[in-house]
Structure 1
Amino acid sequence: MNLQDTLAQPSTQIELPLPISAPGEPFKESAADGFILGGFSWRHASRDTARAVVIINAATSVRCRHYSRFADYLFANGFDVITYDYRGIGESRPASLKGLQASWTDWGALDFEAMLKRAQREFSGQPIDVVGHSFGGCAAGLGASGHLIRRLVTVGAQFAYWRDYAPAQRWRMLAKWHVLMPLVTMIYGYFPGKRLGWLEDTPAGVVRDWSLSTARYEKRASGRAINGQLPFTAVNAQTLAISLSDDPYGTIAAIERLLGYFSGSQNTHWRIEPQDIGEEEVGHFAFFRSAYQATLWPIALSWLQNGELAPDTPGRRVPRS
């Protein structure tokens, strides 16, 4: 494997969102440390305390606009919805990323926490549900107000422990994310992901958390800063972890590793083969593309609506150890 081959890998390319029928309203929200976050909300005209509001947590360095079609789908099915960008990304990006203090733990403990507080304030009395993609599922366990979450759906959620990567792609992914990414970050002071076609530009602290991979989240660079007192156990939500068999990040081992932190929740791990929905491949990023509105999105919708899966849901339950 050479540098050119590694840079050419298309696995992190994402689909630009299509026009949506009910555009979200932009908002600004201040995190506890004063950092201003940007996002969008889909709100029904009439208030209904039986209607849940869904917060969507993005994957690492994926803009919240990537989830706009899915947010619109949830809105059309009776939910209020909040999407937002973590500090340093998209609507929450400052003029420069050099010197920006931002880590994975900040994204959860400060940014996601700010959205929980916003949902509690702006949608007073309504249940709060969360959808987390990739690291967004981990972020759902880092907010101090995690006890507010009623239902949680994660998709390919893990925190990038390299030994959990799919064996066939493990060494290439290790070279890309744990060697090249931090080296490039050292040169630029942040990771210029857009220039490389690898995701959005990413703060150096987030790169440090990702690339210095350990089997325990509290051993990550920013995880150590909270003295091992992780708030995951405060979450007592009905939790559905969806994984795709061709997702090299979201292997069974990776999904189960993160689920182990949600010890206070009722956890279900649902594994789907692309062939279960008539596809050859889905991978890590495609779940939220509009092409899967009829096949994959109803799985998340059913869980958010009822806290259970429909009898004909494609895939299988992964036994919990």
Structure 2
Amino acid sequence: MQNMPSKSAILKAMSGEPFKEAAADGFILGGFIWRHALPDPQRAVVIINAATSVRCRHYGRFAAYLFANGFDVITYDYRGIGESRSASIKGLDASWTDWGALDFEAMLKRAQRQFPGQPIDVVGHSFGGCAAGLGESGRVIRRLVTVGAQFAYWRDYAPEQRWRMFGKWHLLMPLLTLLCGYFPGKRLGWLEDTPSGVVRDWSKPAARYEQRPSGRALLEKTGALPFANVGAQTLAISISDDPYGTIAAIERLLGYFSNAQKTHLRIAPQDIGEQQVGHFAFFRSAYQATLWPIALTWLQTGALAPDTPGRQVPRS
């Protein structure tokens, strides 16, 4: 594993510089950037794609860690979330496909413009891994690390929690969205408030992304989903106690990245001396010494270190 930067170096790098960027349709997105003083064609820039309705600030410490280890880093919020929310999102009909094909694509274009000649890598958490395949410019991605990445097909949820999760995300969430015009997740302490189009995509009980409302619209418009544009060295990390990121769920999404070089690493909490990790904890600083080096090493080398915890899932 790589040497850990000092705590003081991490804290010094914590505050990324805020920025605004217009997507192709004119929607103004907000985020943060960590940029070294001098350009270097050997230094990669990493774009971090958030999970559904999780603010990009959640990934700030991880971004600072990557910066302290020699990367330039971009974090951003999808339209309607955090830094990319103006006022009320009632009536904002943004979808998962908008978040990928418009918002993530805008970050790919920004990275190419602001860091010309530098490699572009991506880290995607949960839906953020799916978003990484929806940008038209996906061919520029050199390396991709996903964590618990899937698009919420309910039959892939962990069996012991499946029906509770189905009731929460596929019945209650769309019902509240119908009543409010958006999902009031912040009030419930579940997620950030979420646009209605995203809720329609998430709650649709369909096994294929192109069967989700916005996925179907994209397929009808373009004739093909853009996942095949991504030829990156791809590491999919899944955690065994993540009820969303089961092996079936991770493999379902990986199947769309038909031209990527794929490795699926399955980690149990006990592999790193923990009792539980779950879906959201990977990016918390408590895992800087145990989980973060796995992503760092892959971004640096495109390979796993010999002492990497967990096991590789066989690929058919």
- TM-score by shorter chain over 0.5: yes
In structure 2, the residue matched to 1:245 is 240
After superposition, give the CA deviation of every residue in 1:186-218 in whole Å (9 maximum; x if it has no partner). Answer: 110000001000010000000000001210000
The yes-or-no answer on 1:188 pairing with 2:180 is: yes
After superposition, give the CA deviation of every residue in 1:10-59 in whole Å (9 maximum; x if it has no partner). Answer: xxxxxxxx966341000000000000000000000011010000000000
In structure 2, the residue matched to 1:286 is 281
The yes-or-no answer on 1:88 pairing with 2:83 is: no
**Aligned partners of 2:75 and 2:176: how far apart in 1?**
29
**Aligned partners of 1:301 and 1:155: how far apart in 2?**
13
Q: How does 1:158-177 map to 2 (within 5 A)?
A: 158-177=150-169
The yes-or-no answer on 1:230 pairing with 2:216 is: no
Whether contact under 8 Å (2:13, 2:68) holds in the other structure is no
Tell me which of 213, 221, 240 is aligned to 1:221.
Answer: 213
After superposition, give the CA deviation of every residue in 1:211-262 in whole Å (9 maximum; x if it has no partner). Answer: 0121000010100101261000000000000000000000000000000000
In structure 2, the residue matched to 1:269 is 264
In structure 1, the residue matched to 2:53 is 61
97 and 19 in structure 1: CA distance in 2 versus 1, 3 angstrom threshold: farther
Tell me which of 108, 120, 134 is aligned to 2:112.
Answer: 120
In structure 2, the residue corresponding to 1:99 is in which secondary structure?
Answer: coil
Tell me which of 33, 37, 40 is aligned to 1:41.
Answer: 33
Letter in 2 for 1:168: E
Whether contact under 8 Å (1:74, 1:81) holds in the other structure is yes
**Aligned partners of 1:135 and 1:152: how far apart in 2?**
14
After superposition, give the CA deviation of every residue in 1:147-187 in whole Å (9 maximum; x if it has no partner). Answer: 00000000000000000000000000000000000000111
In structure 2, the residue matched to 1:147 is 139
After superposition, give the CA deviation of every residue in 1:105-128 in whole Å (9 maximum; x if it has no partner). Answer: 000000000000000000010000
**Aligned partners of 2:117 and 2:13: how far apart in 1?**
27
In structure 2, the residue corresponding to 1:190 is in which secondary structure?
Answer: coil
Letter in 2 for 1:50: Q
In structure 2, the residue matched to 1:109 is 101
**Aligned partners of 1:213 and 1:202: how far apart in 2?**
18
**Aligned partners of 2:144 and 2:110: how far apart in 1?**
17
Whether contact under 8 Å (2:264, 2:313) holds in the other structure is yes
Whether contact under 8 Å (1:20, 1:68) holds in the other structure is no
In structure 1, the residue matched to 2:299 is 304
In structure 2, the residue matched to 1:199 is 191
What's the CA shift for 1:94? Answer: 2.1
Letter in 2 for 1:287: F
In structure 2, the residue corresponding to 1:223 is in which secondary structure?
Answer: helix
In structure 2, the residue corresponding to 1:201 is in which secondary structure?
Answer: coil
Letter in 1 for 2:228: T
* Runs of 4+ with deviation above 4 angstroms: none
After superposition, give the CA deviation of every residue in 1:74-106 in whole Å (9 maximum; x if it has no partner). Answer: 000000000000000000012111111200000
Letter in 2 for 1:217: Y
**Aligned partners of 2:304 and 2:237: how far apart in 1?**
11
**Aligned partners of 1:217 and 1:93: how far apart in 2?**
26
253 and 20 in structure 1: CA distance in 2 versus 1, 3 angstrom threshold: farther
In structure 1, the residue corresponding to 2:213 is in which secondary structure?
Answer: coil
**Aligned partners of 2:238 and 2:113: how far apart in 1?**
32
Where structure 2 has 5 or more consecutive residues not aligned to the other structure, the ranges are 1-9
In structure 2, the residue corresponding to 1:65 is in which secondary structure?
Answer: helix
Where structure 1 has 5 or more consecutive residues not aligned to the other structure, the ranges are 1-17
Counting matched residue pairs gives 304
Q: How does 1:14-53 map to 2 (within 5 A)?
A: 21-53=13-45
